[in-house]
Amino acid sequence: MPLGMRLVTWNINSLRLRLPVLEKLDATLAPDIICLQETKVPDPLFPADALRNMGFEHLHYKGMKSYNGVAILSRHPITPLEKLPDWHGKEDCRHIGAQVHLPSGPVELHDFYVPAGGDIPDPETNPKFAHKLAFVEEVTEWFTTRKRDRTVLVGDFNIAPLEHDVWSHKQLLNVVSHTPPETERLNAWLNVGFVDAMRHFVPASEKLYTWWSYRNRDWKKSNRGRRLDHVWITPDLVPDLTGMTVVREARDWDTPSDHVPVIVDFSL
């Protein structure tokens, strides 16, 4: 195994349907650890053998029928984090975590799939939006009391916090994913003690997206993207950052997800 850790986060939108493109990602970009969201597969049907054959010997996953689901695929040994909170009283498979045992020492890794929040940005009339806001608040509170070093948070946070994380700040201010109640809460979570590893490499003044809707005739031409997927790290890991890649070409792979993989490289 080469020196350094290559970490990927990807909302794959059905793991079983997209095993072929996952193999393509693995073959072309050789990640050491992949965190997936929206696997949409119950645990008994999880394709563990196929993933082990790809070289990911260490697996941790939590899925359910039809919706949600998260998974960590690793070439390094991992110890799953037990007894993580049951956010918002729901057992809906939106968070798993693990200690990753790297040659340089353990790193704590969290994989999140934050609720999308429905269409109407009003917690009074839209319970999905209320759930989303509450989820972020609960997670924020939880991390304030947890150790905050050698920790990495990744996932589909379903919020694009910065002006240039969306194609039109003005037109999306009242669209779920970019409303002030969401972006304020995401910033509060970040400010518990994390660093935005993607923006470490790309200044806030530059557009940066990880998701393009299926509902555009030509995603590349219209380019109405949003940065919904994130990699956050504790400040002690910043000196170990060596690179970041948004795998845009994956949006054109055969039967693509609407999200593309995000790679972060570490000298760990």
Which residues contact DNA (rule: CB under 7 A)?
Answer: 13-14, 16-17, 40, 42, 65-68, 115-118, 128, 158, 213-215, 255
Distances from the Cα of 246 to the Cαs of 25, 40, 150, 243, 260, in angstroms? 12, 23, 23, 10, 7
The response to whether 258 counts as a known ligand-binding position is: yes
In the complex, least distance from residue 210 CB atom to DNA, rounded to whole angstroms: 13
d(CA 232, CA 211) in angstroms, rounded, equals 18
For the question of residue 214 being annotated catalytic, the response is no
CA angle 29, 31, 33 (to 5 degrees): 160
In the numeric block, the tokens 């929206």 are attached to 38
For the question of residue 88 being annotated catalytic, the response is no
The response to whether 11 counts as a known ligand-binding position is: yes
In the complex, least distance from residue 259 CB atom to DNA, rounded to whole angstroms: 9
Q: Residue 66 or residue 145: which is nearer to DNA going by CB? A: 66
Q: Which of the residues 32, 76, 113, 229 is marked catalytic?
A: 113
For the question of residue 259 being annotated catalytic, the response is yes
The response to whether 38 counts as a known ligand-binding position is: yes
Task: Give every CB contact of residue 180 below 8 A, 6+ residues apart in sequence.
Answer: 173
Element (H, E) at 78: strand 78-80
Q: Which of the residues 60, 76, 95, 259 is marked catalytic?
A: 259
d(CA 150, CA 109) in angstroms, rounded, equals 9
Residue numbers in the known binding site for Mg(2+) are: 11, 38, 156, 158, 258-259
Just list the catalytic residues: 113, 156, 259
**Residue list, annotated binding site:** 11, 38, 156, 158, 258-259
